[in-house]
Amino acid sequence: FSNPHFIGNRSVITHLMEWKYDDIGDECERFLGPYGYGGVQVSPVNEHAIMDGRPWYERYQPVSYDIHTRSGDEQQFRRMVQRCNKAGVRIYVDIVLNHMTGGQSGLGTNGHHYDGVAMQYPGVPFGPNDFHGHETCPTNDLEIHNYSNRIEARNCRLVGLRDLKQQSEYVKQKQVDFLNHLIDIGVAGFRSDASTHQWPDDLRSIYSRLHNLNNEFFTENSHPFIYHETIYYGGNGINSNEYTSLGRIIEFRFYKEITNVFRNNNQLRWLRNFGTEWGLVPSGDALVMIDSHDLRVGHTGQLGFNINCFEARLLKAATAFMLAWNYGIPRVMSSYFWDQIIRDGKDVNDWVGPPTDQHGNILSVHPNPDMTCNHEWICEHRWREIYNMVKFKLIAGQEPVNNWWDNGDNQIAFSRGNRAFIAINLQKNGNDHDKNLQKRLQTGLPPGIYCDIISGNLINNRCMGKSIQVDKNGLSDIYVGYDEFDAFVAYHIGARV
């Protein structure tokens, strides 16, 4: 379950949060395919509760397993999967199997009624016997209080969400049917929401009944790619290694350590051996990110610490390191605009859903000639610094990190074999001379003139941004001013004049 089934050397996933399927299909053909992205994570696709104000998190409150949300219906979903696979881009669906809705009642996005108090979900159907209750959950109010306690975390309710009894054959079968339906349509895999709150053995049993991937798009006997949301930072919480035999885990320590370094709480020079030596799971078990749909609003981690699109320079630099370093499968968050208002360390608009018209329909994405999107959509995955680092990673392939250099503080540089080279400068102390990165360095690159793909593209054999000359020994003068628009430069053999 840990092979993402990327095509060729592609290696990066982007989460197009809340996008409509027709738009994602367009994006696969016009941008993601041509620019070398490997896959898209789509927001939960199944029917969910319609909540007041239409917060983004209503998609995490399932009402049935019908494919029908504001992103589109089953027909639109199928069309997207076809188009993206044909463009060389895989689709991964965010699946919410741990629970159904909170303790309210109402209508779902495909018209089914639900009642969270009575635990009635006729759209599946699920009834009260399909949920954990006092026989299995030890807390008085059936809520999780201690996240480190396995029984509580897995048999009680996560923030009030009705907790499915996945020990039940009936519940398992409904979920197996849903996943097989998605597999047959042609998806490549799943993000498993709230895995920590589900028993590994139940998940194992569900996965053992999954079909092989659709061989219209995948080779025979391919298993779905599954990556687990397990928030583990060490200590006596539920260890994410309980899930590594069930696919990959989202390595939250990656985000936390990198964010900490890029916020200058720890020196960049220490990144030299970043990975398992820092306590992270082996690269082959990890999926990594800088930002996510939760982190951006502080629903996990900490607002002010997490790096989101409102700190673009920092986000780009941290993302560049993620894409240049050879660890895990990186996922790039692509968000929509919301009015961030921070009060007492909390974003009071952390609930705001995707941009819509006055009827509540999600707005379409319309790319501008300069590659950005209509202002409602941030489209981080289309920022030059980010899409060109996706290309960097594609070109670096499996080449090792070589030619590490650091100034003993917050300036670093390294190459990926003799194919690509990056230098990052986050130096904050010292005089201007110390703060600028100005150094003759070994780039590992063959001699020639290279464009810095961060400050501009190579167009008609000319660099639109900065460039360097690499001599016959691989040396070059590298410059990153401390006050430049971007905190890093990057060169690779695909952008040589």
Does 193 qualify as catalytic in the annotation?
Answer: yes
> Residue 258 in 3-state DSSP?
helix
* Rounded distance between C-alpha atoms, residue 298 and residue 159, angstroms: 16
Least distance CB 159 / ligand AAO (angstroms): 4
Which is nearer to ligand AAO, 342 or 493 (by Cβ)? 342
Q: Residue 300 interacts with ligand AAO (CB under 6 A)?
A: yes
Eight-state DSSP code of residue 320 = H
Q: How far is the CB of 95 from ligand AAO (least distance, A)?
A: 10
Q: Is 45 in the site for ligand AAO (CB under 6 A)?
A: no
By beta-carbon proximity to ligand AAO, the closer residue of 93 and 194 is 194
What is the b/e burial string over 357-382, where b = at least 16 CB atoms within 10 angstroms of the residue's CB? eeeeebbbbebeeeeebeebbbbbbb
> Under the criterion CB under 6 A, does residue 229 sit at the interface with ligand AAO?
yes
142 binds ligand AAO (CB under 6 A): no
* Binding status of residue 306 toward ligand AAO by CB under 6 A: no
Q: Is 311 helix (H, G, I), strand (E, B) or coil?
A: helix
Residue 229 bears catalytic tag: yes
- What number of other Cβ atoms are within 10 A of residue 26's Cβ? 19
Cβ of residue 305: shortest distance to ligand AAO, in angstroms? 10
User: Degrees (nearest 5) of the Cα angle 278, 315, 433?
Assistant: 85
Handedness of CA 213, 73, 30, 390 (dihedral sign): negative
Q: Which of 94, 163, 193, 285 is catalytic?
A: 193
| Residue 149 makes contact with ligand AAO by CB under 6 A | no
Query: Phi then psi for 225, rounded to 5 degrees?
Result: -85, 130
One character per residue 159-198, x = contact with ligand AAO (rule: CB under 6 A): xxx-------------------------------xx-x--
254 binds ligand AAO (CB under 6 A): no
Q: Is 301 in the site for ligand AAO (CB under 6 A)?
A: yes
> In the bound complex, what is the minimum distance in angstroms from residue 75's beta carbon to ligand AAO?
26
Residue range at the interface with ligand AAO (CB under 6 A); choices 214-222, 227-235, 243-251, 366-374: 227-235
Contact 332, 36 (CB under 8 A): no
Taking each helix axis from N to C end, the angle separating 169-185 and 200-207, rounded to the nearest 10 degrees, works out to 50
Establish if 106 lies at the interface with ligand AAO (CB under 6 A): no
Rule CB under 6 A: is residue 41 a binding residue for ligand AAO?
no
Bond before 44 cis per omega within 30 degrees: no
Residues numbered 193 to 222 that lie near ligand AAO (CB under 6 A) are: 193-194, 196
